[in-house]
Amino acid sequence: MDKGFKPNKTPKKVFKDGAFGGTYFRPIYSSVTKKKYTSNSVIKEYPKSWFQGLDIDKYITSPEYNKKINKYKVKCGSSLDMWEKSGWINKQDPYGWFQWYCRYYMGRRSDDDERQIKRWLALAGPNGRFRRRLMNEIIKKKKKYNDYTVSPVIRQVLLHWGYELTSKDLNNYKRSLKNRS
């Protein structure tokens, strides 16, 4: 089931690199579960080491989105309300995909794994639309894999999904394009 599901960033590394404008585990009301969630009650299930050296109030649980927190200094993502209306939120993970990933990374397995892994593969996997789009932009502009001026919003989205482009991945993609021609 998880063939090809290989995020290259741990949840800890995603937080350390700078993600979600510092708001991922902010207080929320979930229209899916009909419950309020507080930051402290939600993050206590995760290892303290994930947040070591970070100002939790600024980098993890802030109610205010701050793009300066993000690795690529851009705003990206959609609202929780939009995710809920799109049917992307499962009751077991009211914060969304990244909450699912944190729990999956810690060893939890659930009925939602197949759906979430398919979503990751479609977005950030080897043939994922955001990953391909980034690589195509880099190739078109004749830039290096780590030239962060190329598509910073896409890079930030990918980071939120536990993936950062590597030289190896870009080179493999370039080879696959040559083999098609």
Reading the chain (181 residues) residue by residue, the pLDDT tens digits are 557 899 999 999 999 999 999 999 999 999 999 999 998 899 999 999 999 999 999 999 999 999 999 999 999 988 889 989 988 899 999 999 999 999 999 999 999 999 999 999 999 999 999 999 999 999 999 999 999 999 999 999 999 999 999 999 999 999 999 888 6
Six token digits for residue 153:
């919003």
pTM over 0.85: yes
- Three-state helix/strand/coil letters over 1-23: CCCCCCCCCCHHHHHHHCCHHHC
Q: How many CA atoms lie within 13 A of 61 on its CB side?
A: 14
- Strands 28-30 and 35-37, sheet pairing: antiparallel
